[in-house]
Structure 1
């Protein structure tokens, strides 16, 4: 009797955990039999994963921020590589968390195990020379962006475009008033979605300027309500920092409640990242605003190779979604930009983002299904 495929799946942060959970479900549906081991969070555990250690230990971002945790992270790399050696899986799939993923892949690259990295690192944006290390460590990449396979092919790296995961979220979008009715928000009340990010440092840096922005915004939009979708590892901090905000603030932690929360909003104020795409797909016009640790920004800025932080702008090669970074992330700049989105400017943005969303896979097969089929094809090709 042929044993089921054994796949080691490793996620390092909440967004990767969601990707991993969906990929595991799609692999089960697409294959005759598959078993999983690895590291993940609640979404992957819901698919039957017994995580080697808490995924939250890996949720560290930034050149400077990672230094205090380096010893523990290296120990977890060694533990993960040892677990892979002991299990001898058919395939190792690392999801996002590129620094940790590279550390693990380096330790197992001499093994006869297929190594796939899901969420191709954005080397086209900065540090493109790292593609050579990527080529040594992984057999194949799964890309979220339509231009990535061609870029990586020019550098000798195999990459398959599977579509962006936010497309899958949009396939289950609820009706706008579901969330409003549940929370006693009037049909005509102005509602702003506030996305502070998924890491504690990011949340800490953005809470004050976002609070001050809402204080100004409510003067032009009485009855303003803020909806704050967040993730478990920063939910307590988000609740603490938003407790004294000048508007009603509703914190939404459950993943299942997030689509309804986004659909209820009129405009969005978001840290740069995947969440900005979720707002665009939900039909919510937004502004992007971020502050990075000063030293991290100082080191990273000269290495950047792109004009924009937001993927919609990047794909369209023009600023459709306004971006306010570092010194421009201020209430006196953000409030009028947000206020304009309650009017015709918001409608214009919703129309302008559509070509980019189609390029990301809107209207096609679910990205998790495409990713699962790619994984099985890659394993079969190397079996």
Structure 2
């Protein structure tokens, strides 16, 4: 546990200091892109808080690793509640003791909004990057956002107007991933880099990066892959896993009897998406990544029963996956909770491989979505921060 008497290294005179919290692998990626933009504007900027390896590689001082916050589901959060609250309280005390010029919460709204409310009340400017999905579920969060956030950086174009109606300043900055993912991904190069056969179909299995997702989805995804392989023996499978969970993933694969032709990757989720013909994927940010890679997908999700009962009552839209929400249509199939069976997942995944015309139509739609989300995110976010700071 971090020593409370330790304080952040003071930034050089005139340099920007920023507190930041990114709570999982996708947040680490988004925060890393934002830090690059901050460093272009403020070369000696120093950041500290909670983050992952991409942030650390950019000089970010991670007092706690982002995996400590990577928990999804009401019951799962309750199990880790005391530890998460303890981290937030210690982080709050450190930031209040050595106030940064600005605090930037990257996603993780359940953790960040409460923290931001305390920091804002103490006079520390607060910016939140990625508007919580109040348009999809939990609309009551709008009041908490108003209390907590000086400025919201939005990744979807319809969000600033929605927030403005509630008196919340916001800027549409595009989705950072739309800049980093090429409009036409190179499948052949990705397969070569992963040691895959160029002429055999590839299915990417992306069960998520949270411990609860791994436990609930890896067995289902592996069983689905086994069903697929019996029907199409030439299939190759790739399963990216963050380093800290690789052993857990492999043990769960082994518990299902293994899967020939499976490559468990050390991270490398983007290479997996570039290499694949279709992906079986957990609901979350990764589904948008798959859409930007123009890959057909089958979305699956399963969680603790009680968590699901609570969550489904707060759902405002018929869709769960981001590609479907953004397209306002079931452009890709979703199998959630009781529907998330290996048989259903396998059948829907194989259907994509058998329907090239359907894949072509989906890729056209995803290209238009990509163009809508493609903006100079780092530069737009930096300009918004300048306004907040009066710089």
Asked if TM exceeds 0.5, the reply is: yes
Cα distance in 2 for partners of 1:272, 1:31 equals: 36
Partner residue, 1:92: 103
Residue 373 of structure 1: how far off its partner (Å):
2.8
Cα distance in 1 for partners of 2:284, 2:176 equals: 13
Residue 32 of structure 1: how far off its partner (Å):
5.4
Q: 2:360 aligns with which of 347, 350, 366?
A: 347
Residue 172 of structure 1: how far off its partner (Å):
8.9
Residue 223 of structure 1: how far off its partner (Å):
1.4
Partner residue, 1:178: 189
Q: 1:123 aligns with which of 116, 128, 134?
A: 134
- The number of residues matched between the two structures is 376
Q: How far does the alpha carbon of each residue in 1:102-150 deviate from its partner, in whole angstroms, 9 at most, with x for none?
A: 2312322322211011111111111212211110111111111111111
Residue 16 of structure 1: how far off its partner (Å):
1.1
Partner residue, 2:61: 50
Give the secondary structure class of the aligned counterpart of 1:125.
coil
1:148 to 2:179 alignment: no
Q: How far does the alpha carbon of each residue in 1:248-304 deviate from its partner, in whole angstroms, 9 at most, with x for none?
A: 2112224xx433322111111001111112122222211111112110110111111
**Structure 1 residue ranges without an equivalent (≥5):** none
Give the secondary structure class of the aligned counterpart of 1:75.
helix
1:14 to 2:25 alignment: yes
Q: 2:263 aligns with which of 250, 274, 287?
A: 250
Query: Contact 1:270 / 1:287 at 8 angstroms: preserved in 2?
Result: yes
Partner residue, 2:198: 187
**Structure 2 residue ranges without an equivalent (≥5):** 1-11
Query: Contact 1:173 / 1:263 at 8 angstroms: preserved in 2?
Result: no
Partner residue, 1:289: 300
Cα distance in 1 for partners of 2:327, 2:194 equals: 36
Single out whichever of 352-361 and 201-210 deviates more from structure 2.
Answer: 352-361
Query: What RMSD in Å do the two structures reach over aligned CA positions?
Result: 2.0
1:301 to 2:312 alignment: yes
Residue 35 of structure 1: how far off its partner (Å):
2.1
Q: Tell me: CA distance 1:68–1:265, structure 2 relative to 1, closer, same or farther (3 Å).
A: same
Q: Tell me: CA distance 1:33–1:246, structure 2 relative to 1, closer, same or farther (3 Å).
A: closer
Cα distance in 2 for partners of 1:172, 1:124 equals: 27
Taking the TM superposition and a 5 Å limit, the aligned residue runs for 1:255-266 are 257-266=268-277
Partner residue, 2:47: 36
Taking the TM superposition and a 5 Å limit, the aligned residue runs for 1:368-383 are 368-380=378-390
1:4 to 2:15 alignment: yes
Taking the TM superposition and a 5 Å limit, the aligned residue runs for 1:295-374 are 295-342=306-353, 343-344=355-356, 345-361=358-374, 364-365=375-376, 367-374=377-384
Give the secondary structure class of the aligned counterpart of 2:63.
coil
